[in-house]
A = this chain, B = another copy of it.
Amino acid sequence: MDFHLKESIGQKVVNFCVNKKKQQTEQTKKKIADSARSLFAQKGYKATSIEDIVKATGCSAGNIYYHFKNKEGLFLYLLEDWNREWDKTWLAKEKLYATTTEKLYGMAEYLALDQLSHPLTKAADEFFNNSEKAPEVEERINEMVKGYIDFNRQLLQRGIDHDEFEIANVTGLAIILDGLMLGLNQHSRRMDREEALAAYRLAMDVFLLGIAKRTR
């Protein structure tokens, strides 16, 4: 209405206007991400087409490619988003456990439930194992795997420092722990909630007994 107002407030108005575009972008990006996540979870990576996402979001194919580099990029975004979410949730949850042993049981429980409510894991497996990916994507995946291993390694190291476990090869066991969770995840798809929880707990029982301090 009054253009002098615009100038008098200056930067603030500009920021507001810029934000309106940023806001729109964020909103659209989120809408695409949410639909895509749900579809990937239901149908898997390959089986979910851009067309599917177009139908689910109501926005055009071109718009998806405006916000994401390509299908791979969209999926990577979801994976990284998921990792961020995990870090956040875990950081809050971790404090509730006193010992590393308790933390590991807590992690197992969370994984059991997260995987059931969050079947993106299935699509992730498909994506990780699919051999037709760009080198940069391969690299990004390697980093993610390294991150998971490192997470376990640090957890186990703290357990050693607190005299809970007796471990010589920490990295090796970090890999084994990840492998155990990874393998169980596949089996948990054929289980209901209670079975999955029991399986993860049992796995952790065995793992912990396997690395427990021995009484000589």
Binding site for B on A (CB under 8 A): 43-44, 46-47, 122, 125-126, 128-132, 142, 145, 169, 172-173, 175-176, 178-187, 190, 198-199, 202-203, 205-212
Contact = CB atoms under 8 A, between A and B. Distances in A.
Main secondary structure of the interface of A (DSSP, over half): helix
A128 B209 CA distance: 32
29 contacts: A44-B131, A46-B46, A46-B132, A122-B129, A128-B186, A129-B129, A142-B190, A145-B187, A145-B190, A169-B202, A173-B202, A175-B184, A175-B187, A175-B199, A176-B184, A176-B202, A176-B203, A179-B199, A180-B180, A180-B183, A180-B203, A181-B183, A182-B183, A183-B184, A205-B210, A206-B207, A206-B211, A209-B210, A210-B210
